Each structure stands twice: as structure tokens, then as C-alpha cells.
């Protein structure tokens, strides 16, 4: 159990330390981005302490020698068990009183605060997967490490995806259907498939043994589906022709811009520790 008084004192000291840091950096006329990074790092530490203070307010979940369940059963108290809770602010160790007979059957504090089964907080999972749906697992891990100073492995992010996927069916089952008055008259069912490379431990000769160029054993198809309603979208023949012509103009314009890329291109280089962007032309000479 995190004692409330100790947690409160720690939070107060970190806040005072952060305020002192700002004053010192102001006296030194430090660069703004350096101070910004220092404040962010200090806020992460302060957030971790405040979250620890929150847990301290709830104690260890001890409800007495017996815990009465909703089905009428009573479970005896067993012992305190510590668990890790990894939030966006860092790791906390929380001790909770556990109940059960031959094994742990109930942890009141976990149920009261809706703690996840694994150590990763729901907010950390949400932020991590919001990156993972657009980037690779490695890129996601790099972003989380850069922002929150938390190291997540590719396997951890893969497991997070599986844990969240297990909740989809239950969410759909109990999620109330939309009101008919808010829906459109047309129902659209869409599906999209993409091939996903498979990483295997077989030798290269085994993987490339298909002479016909097929991808058997190399890829799997991942499908994404959606069902929604829309309103009627009325268009005249002139509207369709106009849209086709505008699409042709867009394609032509894009092709012209593509040809220009051989003449003008954007480059990035470092000067004085800062990233500088410029437009390069073959006739220009850039001195670093």
C-alpha cells in the first residue's frame, strides 16, 4: 500500500522542484525548447506521483476477513499481493488485498478502480494503439519511447492488439443500436482485403520453393469490414461529367507536379544544431 502522507509529500516536492527549475532556467536565459523538454519530463514525474497519491487514497482494498460476492458466496482473506501498473507517467507498484479459497478469486481494489488484467493502463493501450493503426510496431514503440520514456516491445504491442480485439464482440453485443430516425435509407456493406507478409523461421529455400511465383505460405489476407447507412446522393449527367473532368484535371496536374520534382526538390540539412528546410535547384549551390 502506498501511504497517503508519503505520496502527498512526494507530489508537493516534485511540484516545487518543477517551479524551481523554471525559475533557474529563466535566470540562465535558456533556450525555450530545452525548458519545454525539461518541463515535460518533470510533468511525467509529477503525474506519476499524483497517480500514486490517487491509489493511496483507496488503500489496499481490504474489506475485512470475508468478502461477500453478489452470488452470496463468501471468500476468506488471503494476503497482500503487489502488482505493477504501467501508466503514461511510468510504473507504479500497487499492493492489493486478495480473497479466495484455494486460489485468488477476487481483488476488490482491481474491481473498484477497473484496473486492467495486464499491467498496461487502458490509457497507455489507447495511445499506443492509436499510433499502431497507422505505423509499424517498431515506429510506434519509438514514438512512445520518445514521448513518454516508456519502452514497449513489438511483442507487447502485438499482444495489446489481441487484447483489444477480444473486447470487440462484447462491445457490439451490448452497444445500443442507432435510432432509425438518425439513419439513412441506404445500407452499405463494405469490405477491403490486403495481403500481410508472414515472418517465418523456415529457411530461405523452403520459403521460395514455389516455381510458379505464387505466395503460398508467404502472405495472409487481412480483411476489414464496415456496415453503415447513407443518404441518397442525386446527380445529373452534367454532374457526373463535371466530376470526371475535374478528376482528369487533377491527374494531369499531379503528373505535371511529378515532372517538376526532377527540377526542384526539398532538402533537409542541419545547421547550428537546428533542422533547416530549403528548396534546391541544380544551378544553386548550398553552403553548409
pLDDT of res. 129: 93
Q: For 70, which DSSP code?
A: T
Asked if residues 101 and 76 have their Cβ atoms less than 8 Å apart, the reply is yes
Q: What is the reported pTM? A: 0.67
Mean pLDDT of 182-207: 71
Asked if residues 117 and 105 have their Cβ atoms less than 8 Å apart, the reply is no
Alpha carbons 131 and 139: distance in angstroms, whole number: 8
Alpha carbons 127 and 124: distance in angstroms, whole number: 5
Hey, what's the cell of 149?
Answer: 520514456
Determine the 3-state secondary structure of 14 from DSSP. helix
200: left (phi over 0), alpha (psi -120 to 50) or beta: beta
Q: What residues contact 135, with CB distance under 8 A and at least 6 apart?
A: 143
Confidence check: pLDDT of 194 > 80: no
Asked if residues 231 and 184 have their Cβ atoms less than 8 Å apart, the reply is yes
Confidence check: pLDDT of 285 > 60: no
Mean pLDDT of 219-235: 80
pLDDT of res. 201: 54
Alpha carbons 163 and 159: distance in angstroms, whole number: 6
Q: How confident is the model at residue 198 (pLDDT cuts 50, 70, 90)?
A: low
Confidence check: pLDDT of 141 > 90: yes
pLDDT of res. 41: 96
pLDDT of res. 283: 40
Mean pLDDT of 178-191: 87
Range with lowest mean pLDDT among 153-157, 208-212, 277-281: 277-281
Q: What percent of the chain has pLDDT over 70?
A: 77
Highest mean pLDDT among 33-42, 174-183, 208-217: 33-42
Mean pLDDT of 166-187: 84
- DSSP H helices, 59-187, are 108-113, 122-132, 137-148, 154-165, 168-174
Confidence check: pLDDT of 46 > 90: yes
Mean of pLDDT over the chain: 81
pLDDT digits (tens, 9 = 90+) for 102-136: 888 899 999 999 999 999 999 999 999 999 988 89
Mean pLDDT of 90-94: 95
What DSSP letter does each residue of 148-179 carry, written as one string?
Answer: H-----HHHHHHHHHHHHTTHHHHHHHSPPPP
Asked if residues 78 and 61 have their Cβ atoms less than 8 Å apart, the reply is no
Amino acid at each position: 500500500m502506498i501511504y497517503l502522507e508519503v505520496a502527498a509529500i512526494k507530489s508537493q516536492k516534485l511540484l516545487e522542484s518543477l517551479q524551481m527549475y523554471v525559475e533557474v532556467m529563466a535566470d540562465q536565459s535558456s533556450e525555450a525548447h530545452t525548458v519545454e523538454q525539461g518541463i515535460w519530463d518533470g510533468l511525467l514525474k509529477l503525474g506519476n506521483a499524483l497517480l500514486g497519491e490517487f491509489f493511496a487514497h483507496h488503500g489496499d482494498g481490504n474489506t475485512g476477513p470475508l468478502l461477500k460476492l453478489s452470488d452470496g458466496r463468501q471468500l476468506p482473506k488471503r494476503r497482500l499481493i503487489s502488482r505493477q501498473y504501467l501508466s503514461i507517467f511510468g510504473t507504479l507498484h500497487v499492493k492489493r488485498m486478495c480473497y479466495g479459497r484455494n486460489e485468488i478469486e477476487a481483488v476488490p481494489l482491481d474491481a473498484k478502480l477497473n484496473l486492467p488484467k495486464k499491467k498496461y493502463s487502458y490509457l497507455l493501450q489507447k495511445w499506443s494503439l492509436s499510433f499502431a493503426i497507422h505505423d509499424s510496431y517498431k515506429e510506434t514503440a519509438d514514438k512512445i519511447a520518445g514521448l513518454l520514456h516508456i519502452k514497449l516491445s513489438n511483442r507487447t504491442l502485438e499482444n495489446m492488439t489481441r487484447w483489444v480485439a477480444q473486447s470487440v464482440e462484447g462491445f457490439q453485443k451490448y452497444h445500443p443500436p442507432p435510432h432509425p430516425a438518425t439513419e439513412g435509407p441506404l445500407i452499405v456493406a463494405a469490405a477491403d482485403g490486403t495481403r500481410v507478409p508472414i515472418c517465418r523461421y523456415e529457411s530461405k529455400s523452403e520459403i521460395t520453393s514455389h516455381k510458379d511465383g505464387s505466395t503460398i505460405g508467404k502472405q495472409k489476407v487481412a480483411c476489414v469490414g464496415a456496415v453503415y447507412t447513407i443518404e441518397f446522393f442525386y446527380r445529373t449527367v452534367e454532374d457526373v461529367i463535371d466530376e470526371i473532368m475535374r478528376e482528369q484535371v487533377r491527374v494531369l496536374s499531379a503528373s505535371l507536379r511529378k515532372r517538376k520534382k526532377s527540377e526542384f526538390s526539398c532538402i533537409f540539412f542541419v545547421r547550428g544544431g537546428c533542422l533547416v528546410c530549403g528548396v534546391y535547384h541544380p544551378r544553386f549551390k548550398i553552403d553548409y
